[in-house]
Structure 1
Amino acid sequence: MSLRDELVQLTKELVAIPSVSDDAVQRRVVIDFIAAYCQRLPGVHIERYESRGFPMLVAAFDTERAKDLILNAHVDVVPARPEQWQAVERDGRLYGRGTQDMKAASAAMLVLLKALAEAGKQPNVSWQFVTDEEIGGDDGTGYLLRQGYTGQLFVAGEPTDLHIVNRAKGILWVTVTMNGIPAHGSRPWDGDNPIIPLATGLRKLLERYPIPAEPVWRTTVTPAAIHGGDAQNRVPVDCLLKLDIRRVPDEEQGAIMYFVEQCFPGATVQTPHDGSCLNTDSSAPALQRLVSSISAEMGQPARFRDEHFGSDARYYSQAGTAAVCFGPRGAGLHSHEEWVEIESILTFYHVLERLVTGS
């Protein structure tokens, strides 16, 4: 079987496992599949872990947790249409749920592990496979970091069109609850309507963080949901606003939260979820190994770019490790038409091969 066919076939097999993040059964099925694959490889040692029901696996050629390089892949996905669980090859692309994000990259990492094992090469590298990236990552990559799995360089195979993503925005989910005094809708003076101060505060917040019309590298605030009122003829008891804030590394979370609280005096402001920024210096010494591998394989300088979504790379970046995202080309992230370019899976594989072997 050619390398191309092997990568496509393994990607198809991974896609066929509907490992949606909130499906405990299929999360275990996909890790069982990867474990069985690794157990057939000579000299490969695997460790399995579980945190709050989320299974994960680390593969390496020894039991040491400190490595020169960590290759990280998440094999959980978002929900899909039934037909998306069967990957289809068309026009040089592979369509299906998780092809781009990120089971093709996972397949490439596994095939590389197999090639190294069969060749008797045992680099100082670990492979991490986790199942909770789509819902935060704390019980996968975050857990492994806390267990002492460290590296000089961390590479998450997220879809980046073969660019290096060394900076990504942090995540800040905020809820604002404004209480009111209910009254009959015909007698608003008898009550205190919470919608009005909430709307006023939201307008003030968006004056500072206006909704951009195109990609922009600055902090953004997206009003994601508003809930309030239970009858059309009644002043509401309360009103709830949900905000999705994506912050750039140069803006501190504390300063953002202080301004949010100033916009909504008297409200209860909570942060049910937050995630740090990815912020790795493009000149970091450990990162130059990847830069050189990309340049050698692609015949052109490696390209860096900023990204707006979060990833598990942020955990290692926050811990001081040179951490980046780097993965194949594709499109349709989380959509009905998700796809990955097959040729770019091959390129991704060969870049990692150079990175791991130093060739």
Structure 2
Amino acid sequence: MEKNILALLEKLVEFKSVSSDKKEGGKIINYVAGYLNNKNLLIKRYINNGFSSLLIYGKNHLVNKPFRILLNAHLDVVPALREAFKLKIKGDKAFGRGVYDMKGAAAAIIELFRNLSEKNKLPDDVGLTLVTDEEIGGFSGTKIFSEKKEAKTRLFLGGEPTNLKILMAHKGILKITVTHRGKSAHGSRPWDGKNANVKMASDISRFYTENPLPKREIWATTYSLNLINGGTAFNVISDHAEATFDIRRIYQDQPEKIISKIKKYFPQAEIKVKMNEPGLETDRTVPEVKKLAQILKRYNKEKDLFTKDHYATDGRFYSIKKIPAVHFGLEGGGMHQKNEWIDIKSLSLYYKILEEFIIT
């Protein structure tokens, strides 16, 4: 089984399916549709805003009835050098762009669907969505599926990296731009102008003096100032300065509270919310989640099998609709980094746990 999953993963990694490349996204979707094609599966392809996706389920599924479990995987990746799109095996690790996030989990899920459907053992109430835009927000893939009647479910189960734990929560996202206006003048005559850059620098300094960046991992709202733009030329007083915050908020800190805080430290600035996406919060007592945890407990001996993380996932589109959403993924590391990797042994273990979960 591990050999087959690795062979499929090798092929998936070869596709340079960076989110922005809609054509390559279409190619990998076509490949998977062909790989899964058999008489016992229904495979529906969608194209939304140029992004390709698939909805897959058994031939006997009633389309007007919600799935018991809807599995989800994204086949898009973040940019990388050419050599990263070739799977490399070193010892018990496999390296390549997207192996951890999340073509490795996708390969195991796809192989599971193929094997169960060919043996006519895929439960009628289990479905799968495959998307190609998760890394840039998921608005043309999972978000649209969450609004479709034929993709309704009682549990959304994604395969984001979790190191064989169950991810129950992640932070929400606020993208806020802060803009200061000034007055331009010749750089040699600062008294004739009003420097927007200086005002911005002063406000930023005050903000981080009173709200220092955390020095260790912490489950709290974080404020990352990742973009600053201002000025037009070396010798012109800047009449415009813009800063963009990437704010990852915990559930308790609602957007209104955060916006008020930004306004407090940038009182003369124009504040605009460019993105406001919810986090994910799922109760671990949900029956299907408890069932997954009970199965996982036999294979993962860690005391706490549940986890939470700071990144956002497509699960939020279902969670906001009060549909339980969790993620369960492979062991590995280096997400979005040069040496992204997975533990090869976790592929077959992951497959085995998912198989037991969906067929019992």
Structure 2 counterpart of 1:18 = 16
Structure 2 counterpart of 1:121 = 121
Contact 1:173–1:244 (8 Å) recurs in 2:
yes
Structure 1 counterpart of 2:66 = 66
Structure 2 counterpart of 1:38 = 36
Distance 1:229 1:285 in 2: 56
Q: Quick one: which amino acid aligns to residue 334 of structure 1?
A: H
Matched, 1:108 2:108: yes
Structure 2 counterpart of 1:248 = 250
Contact 1:158–1:327 (8 Å) recurs in 2:
yes
Matched, 1:278 2:280: yes
Distance 1:280 1:109 in 2: 22
Partner-residue secondary structure (3-state), 2:153: strand
Distance 1:208 1:320 in 2: 36
Matches within 5 A, 1:78-97: 78-97=78-97
Contact 1:182–1:236 (8 Å) recurs in 2:
yes
Structure 2 counterpart of 1:259 = 261
Deviation per residue, 1:265-303 (Å, 9 max, x gap): 232222222321011122223311211221234466661
Structure 1 counterpart of 2:134 = 133
Q: Give the paired residue count.
A: 355
Distance 2:217 2:240 in 1: 34
CA apart distance, 1:323: 0.6
Contact 1:210–1:221 (8 Å) recurs in 2:
no
Distance 1:253 1:286 in 2: 31
Contact 2:76–2:131 (8 Å) recurs in 1:
yes
Give the root-mean-square deviation of aligned CA atoms.
1.5
Q: Which runs of at least 4 in structure 1 moved beyond 4 Å after TM superposition?
A: 299-302
Structure 2 counterpart of 1:310 = 312
Q: Quick one: which amino acid aligns to residue 54 of structure 1?
A: F
CA apart distance, 1:161: 0.6
Q: Quick one: which amino acid aligns to residue 147 of structure 2?
A: R
Distance 2:210 2:16 in 1: 41
Distance 2:192 2:302 in 1: 70
Q: Does the C-alpha gap of structure 1 residues 343 and 147 become closer, same or farther in structure 2, counting only changes over 3 Å?
A: same
208, 216, 219: which one aligns with 2:218: 216
CA apart distance, 1:186: 3.0
Contact 2:113–2:122 (8 Å) recurs in 1:
no
Deviation per residue, 1:297-333 (Å, 9 max, x gap): 4466661112011111111111111111110011111
Structure 1 counterpart of 2:176 = 174
Contact 1:60–1:125 (8 Å) recurs in 2:
yes
Segments of structure 2 that go 5 or more residues without pairing to the other structure are: none
TM-score under structure 2 length normalisation: 0.95
Deviation per residue, 1:133-162 (Å, 9 max, x gap): 000001110010111222111111011111
Distance 2:62 2:202 in 1: 57
Contact 1:293–1:352 (8 Å) recurs in 2:
no
State, as a whole percentage, how many aligned pairs show the same letter. 34
Structure 2 counterpart of 1:236 = 238
